[in-house]
Structure 1
Amino acid sequence: MTQNKKLGLTARIVIGMVAGILVGFFFKWLLAGQEERILHFLSLEIPLKAFFVNGLLHIGGEIFIASLKMLVVPLVFVSLVCGTCSLSDTSSLGRLGGKTIGLYLITTAMAISLAIFAALLFSPGEGVQMQSDANFSLAEAPPLSQVFINIFPSNPIESMAKGNMLQIIVFAVLFGLAMAMSGKAGERLTLVFNDLSEVIMRLVTLLMNLAPYGVFFLMAKLFTTLGFETIASLAKYFAVVLTVLILHGLLSYGVILKLLTGLNPLMFFRKMRDAALFGFSTSSSNATMPVTMEAVTKKLGVKNSIASFTVPLGATINMDGTAIMQGVATVFIAQVFGVDLTLADYLMVILTATLASVGTAGVPGVGLIMLAMVLQQVGLPVEGIALIIGVDRLLDMTRTAVNVTGDAMVSCIVAKSEKEFDPDVFNDPAAGTKDETIDFQHLR
C-alpha cells in the first residue's frame, strides 16, 4: 500500500499495461497451436484459453470498460447542463458551437491531408499481393437530411438509454438554457446539478484508481489473440499509419496550440498522459470521456462551461485518428488494386472524410463506414477494407489516443478565446493530481 502511494497514476497504468502485454505474450506462446490446452492443477483439468483468456481476462476487461461507459451519459448530461446554465451570455452558445465544430473539422482535414501525403511518399501498397476472404458487414450510413433530423431527440430518456451522444448534447443544452431563464427555480436546480457534478467527478477519480487493473486485463486479452503474422505482412502500411498518427498527435496539435494560444505544448502533453493512456487502452473516445473531462478541467484549466460542451462533442465528431487511417488506407488500397487516383480524387477524399466525421458520428462501426464511403466516392473496391482489418485493432488504440488529445487541445483553444481559461492551473505541474489516489482505508 505504501509503495502504491509513491507511484503516480501514469506510472501505475504503464506498469499494468506492460504486465498485461507480457502475460498476453506468455499465453500466446503457451497456446501456440494448442487451442484446447489443458492445465492440470490440484486434480482439476482447466482449459487455459476458456478459463483464463476468454474467462478471467475477458471478464476483467469488460467490467472495466462497462464501468467507464456507465459514467458517460450522466457525466455528459449533468456537466453540460451545468456549463450551459452558467454561461453569462446564453447568446454566446452559437459562437461557442461554431468555433468548436470549425476547429474539429479543420484538424480532421489536416489529418487526412497529412496521411495522404505520407502514403504517396512511402507507397505502402506497392508490391503487395494479398488475397482475403474476410467477410464483414457495414451498417449503412444515413443520408445527410436524416442526420440533421436524428440530432434532435423525440424521447430524451430513450436517447440516454441508447447513449446517443448528439441527442443527449442537444437536450442538455436546451435544458440548461431553460434553467438559466427560469429565475429562482433555475437557481435552485443549478445548485443540485453542481452537487451532482461533484459527485460524478469523485466517482471518476474512484474508478481511475482501478485503471491499472483494468488496463492489465485489456492488454493481456488483446496480446493473447493479436495476429502478428498479419501485421508483418502489412508492415509498411502499419508503419505509415502509426507514424502519421504520432506526428499529427504531437507535432500538429503542439504547433496549433502554440500558435493559437501561446501555451506550452510540453506542459499540455504532460498533463494529457493519463487520458491518452486510457484512450489507448480502451480504444473508445466515449469510454475515455470521463477521464478526458477531468484532465481538461482540473489539469488544463478549462472552465466547465466550455469543457462540458467541447469534450462530449469532440468524443462524438472529432475523428482525426480515423481520418488518418482512411487517408493511408485509400492510397494503400488504390496501389494494391493498381488504380491511379487524380488530384481531384484526393481532394474528394479529404472533403468526404471531413464531412463524414459528423454525418456518421452516431453509427456503429463508424471508422469502417467512413472508409467505405470514401472508397465509393473515388471508385475503389470496398472489398479492399478486408485487407486491413487484421491490423486495425492495434491502430485503433493509437488513433483513439490521438482523438482524445485533439479533444483537449480544441477545448483549450476555445476556452482561451472565450476567456474561460485559468492559466495558473495549466502552468501548475501539480494541478489536478492531489485527488489522484484515494485512501480506501479512510472510506471504511
Structure 2
Amino acid sequence: MGWWFRIDLWKRVVVGLVLGAVTGLLLRQALGADAAGANVTAWAKPIGDAFINLIKMLVVPLIFTTLVSGVLAMGDPKKLGSLGGRALAMYMCTTLIAVSIGLLIGSLIQPGAGFDTTTVATADLESARSQLAANPQPGSVGEQLMHTILSIIPTNPVAAMAQGDVLPIIFFAILFGIGILMSGDTGKPLANVMNSAAEAMMKLTLIVMETAPLGVFALMAWVMGDRGLTILAVLGKMTASLYIACGLHILITYGFIIKGLLRLPLFDFFRGAVDAQAVAFSTSSSNATLPMTISCATANLGIGKPIASSVLPLGATINMDGTALYQGLIALFAAQALGIEMTVSMYFTIALMATLVSIGTAGIPSVSLFLAATTLSVVGVSPDQTVLIIALLFPFDRILDMMRTVTNITGDLAVATAVAKWEGELDEVVFRARDRV
C-alpha cells in the first residue's frame, strides 16, 4: 500500500469522491431507489459518519490550541487589531458580494417560476415544521445583530467547548493567549505547553486526514445511493442557479482577491486549496473541514501559523458566503413560486438580512436552510408558506449544501491568504511551489 500513500492526498480524495459517486449511482441503478438507499445507509453512512466524527473530534482542541499559539507567536496583542480588522472587513465584503451574485443569478434563471408547490410530501412538511421549531431565529435585523454579538461571549468557556460553539471558543482563546503574553516570564511555561499542544494537534490532524479518501468515498456513495440525481429533475433550475452563482463567486470574487489584489497565481491557489475543497464537498460542513483547511493553508499555501490559526477558525463561523448566497436564492425562489412581486427595497433588505443571518451560522450540514425563515419573512412569506418552501428544498438540500460549503472554505482560504500577504506572513515560495501537481 506504500504506492497509495505516495500519491498526493488531494488526488486520493478526488478518487474516493468519484468512486463513491459512481458506486452509489450503480447501486441505485441495479437495486432500485429504495433498496439502494437502505443498502448504502446500512454500510456507507456509518463509515462516513465515523470519518466526520474523527475530524469533528479535532475541531475544538485544534481551534483552541492553535489560536492561543498563534496569539503567542505574534508577541504583541496590538497585532490582533489589524489582523482581525482586515479579516472581518474582507469577510463582510465578500458575503455582501455573494448575496448580490445569488440575487442576480436568481433573477436571471428564475428557479421558482412556475414551480408546483403541491408536490410536497406530507412527511417533508412535518419534518420542516419540526426543524423550524428546533431552530428559532430572531426576526428583525436589530434582533439578529444583537443575537450574533451576544453569542460571541461565553458565560462558560468549558461548556462552549463541550458544545462545539466556535465563536465563543475563538473569543476565549484570544483573550487567554493575550493573558499569557501579559504574564511575561511567569506565563512562559504555560506558553510552552500551548505551543506543544498546538503542534501535537497539527500532527494528529495529518494522521486523521489520511482517512479522508475512505470517508469521502463512503459519504458520496451514501448521498448518491440514497438520493441519486433526482434533484436534477425536481429542482434542476435551483441546483443550476446555486452552482452557477457559487462558481462565479469563487472565480470572480476570490479570483480578484488572489490575482487582482495580491498579484499571486490563481492556479497555484486553487491547486493548494483542492484538498480542503474535496473534503468540504463530501462532508458539507465548514467545521468538519477546518482541520484540512488549516493543513492546506500552512502546507500548501504558505500561510503563517498565526494567520492560519486565527483567521481560518473565525472564517469557519463568520464567513458563510455560500450560506448568504443561498439565503438570497431561497428568498427569490419563494417569491417566484408563490407569485410575490419583488421591489428594489426588498432586494436590499434581503441582502442585509442574508448577510446577518449567515454570520455565526453553525458550520454543519443543512443548517442554513432552516435559517431561511428569517430571510423569507422579508419578502412577505407567511409561516405556513415558509414551511412549504423549506419542505420543498429539504429532501435535496444535501447536494446543494456541498457546493455552499466549498464556497465557504474557499473564501476562508482566500481571505487568509490576503491577510497573510499584508501581514508579511505568507511564504510565496511555498505558495508558488510547482511540485504540487
Q: Which residue is 2:208 aligned to?
A: 207
Q: Which amino acid aligns with 1:236?
A: K
Alpha-carbon distance between aligned partners in 2 of 1:271 and 1:362, rounded to the nearest angstrom: 22
| Structure 1 residue 95 corresponds to structure 2 residue 95 | no
Instruction: Give the C-alpha shift of residue 378 in structure 1.
Output: 2.2
The letter for the 2-side match of 1:303 is G
Q: Is the 8 A contact 1:241 1:328 kept in 2?
A: yes
5+ residue gaps, structure 1, are 36-47, 434-444
Q: Is the 8 A contact 1:156 1:167 kept in 2?
A: yes
Alignment of 1:286-301 (within 5 A): 286-301=287-302
Any idea what SS the aligned residue of 1:86 has? helix
Q: Give the fraction of aligned pairs with identical amino acids, expressed as a percent.
A: 41
Change (3 A) 1:33 1:58: closer
Task: State the secondary structure of the residue aligned to 2:302.
Answer: coil
Question: 1:331: Cα distance to partner?
Answer: 1.4
Structure 2 distance, partners of 1:366, 1:56, is 25
C-alpha displacement of 1:362: 8.0
Q: How many residues align?
A: 419
> In the alignment, does 2:428 pair up with 1:423?
yes
Matches of 2:368 and 2:284 in 1, distance apart?
Answer: 12
For 1:362 and 1:26, the matched residues in 2 are separated by 31
Structure 1 counterpart of 2:64: 77
Do the aligned partners of residues 6 and 178 (structure 1) sit closer, same or farther apart at CA in structure 2, a change above 3 Å counting?
A: closer
Aligned to 1:279: 280
1:35-434 equivalent positions in 2, closer than 5 A: 35=35, 52-131=39-118, 132=120, 133=122, 134-135=124-125, 136=128, 137-138=131-132, 139-142=135-138, 143=143, 144-358=145-359, 360-361=361-362, 366-380=367-381, 381-382=385-386, 383-430=388-435
CA distance in 1, matches of 2:54, 2:33: 34
Structure 1 residues 401 and 231 mapped into 2: Cα distance closer, same or farther (>3 Å)?
same
State the Cα distance separating 1:220 from its structure 2 match. Answer: 0.9
| 1:82 match: secondary structure | helix
Cα distance in 1 for partners of 2:184, 2:77 equals 14
CA distance in 2 between counterparts of 1:148 and 1:232 reads 41
Output the CA distance in 2 between the equivalents of 1:191 and 1:34: 55
RMSD value, Cα: 2.0
Residue deviations 1:290-330 (CA, integer Å, cap 9, x gap): 00001112211111111111100110111111122222222
Query: Any runs of at least 4 consecutive aligned residues in structure 1 with deviations exceeding 4 A, and if so which?
Result: 359-365
Task: Quote the residue 2:18 is aligned against.
Answer: 18
> Does structure 1 retain, via aligned residues, the 8 Å contact 2:366–2:401?
no
SS in 2 for 1:272: helix
Amino acid at match of 1:91: K
Q: Whole-Å Cα distance in 2 between the matches of residues 375 and 317 of structure 1?
A: 21
| Corresponding residue SS for 2:324 | helix
CA distance in 2, matches of 1:197, 1:394: 34
Counterpart residue identity of residue 187, structure 1: K
The one-letter code of the counterpart of 1:298 is A
Change (3 A) 1:141 1:205: same
Deviation string, structure 1 residues 237-291 (Cα, Å, up to 9, x no partner): 2111111111111222111222221111111001001010010011000000000
Q: Distance in 2 between matches of 1:424 and 1:34?
A: 52
Letter in 2 for 1:388: L
More helix by share: 2
